[in-house]
Amino acid sequence: ATGAAAKRARVAGGAKREPIEYLADFVSFGAEAEPFLRMCGVKEWPTPTETAELLADNHAVFMERGGSVDEYKALLIDLAGSFKHVDKAAVARLKQAPCLLGFQLADVDGGTDAADAVRVASLTSASDCYLVDIPALEVLLRPVCAPNVAGPLFDMYEKLGCRWLGRCVTRSAKPVGKGTATARASGLKRVIDERVGLLSVNAQGERLSGVKVSREKRLAKVQVLEVKSIATTVTFEGVTR
């Protein structure tokens, strides 16, 4: 690659490198030679598809060449912005390669307080990376998750096959002890009765189509009792907590 090569040639002098330079080699042949090389078809910068292919092939050497986590994330954000221009074959390779940046909560120095946990970065495949839609589940389950950057990056991760964490979890709740009528239970029942009508109308107060009268009546008759506690379980990747 040439061009902006004068800019990239500064690397030898210790100037800041562009993230893509940790995946591909850039060579400057001098200001006089570069116009000729451009006419011959030598590119100044990889296309989105070529960037995707470089990630699939060379992701493992990015850090070895001195790249940082923030630079890798910046590279992914740039690719996400032009992801629609990546051809299908390159997308298929990205889906399989462990080239996505993920973060996993880890305790520090044997601690168990979630507030003190840190996010440890690693490269992972799309099938092993999750998009966080319920933060409490990330704290409890500690899977490898996508960077917390909304917008095109999240969209790209989802298109590559990353799943939403909340959709991969099965939750159940079981009351502990016998339910009894209490003042708190009665208060909750009053709130339900006051607001049940809101479930069947839109913001303009117009009745929604498809609302079944039988279910409205059933909700109106619901009984509210208080129990000592509610035992909840969460099952994720075959493990129940």
Backbone angles phi, psi at 47, to 5 degrees: -75, 170
What CA–CA distance (Å, rounded) separates 162 from 85? 20
pLDDT confidence tier of residue 116, bands split at 50, 70 and 90: confident
Residue 125's pLDDT is 98
How far apart are the C-alpha atoms of 95 and 127, rounded to whole Å? Answer: 8
Output the six-digit token pair for 197.
């009508």
The larger pLDDT score, comparing residue 219 to residue 188, is at 188
**What's the pLDDT at 16?**
64
The DSSP bridge pattern shows strands 169-176 and 163-164 to be unpaired
Confidence of residue 14 (pLDDT cuts 50, 70, 90): very low
More confident position, 214 or 2: 214
Of 217 and 78, which is predicted with more confidence? 78
pLDDT tier at 115, thresholds 50, 70, 90: low
Give the residue-averaged pLDDT of 213-240: 92
For the chain, domain boundaries: 170-240
pTM: 0.75
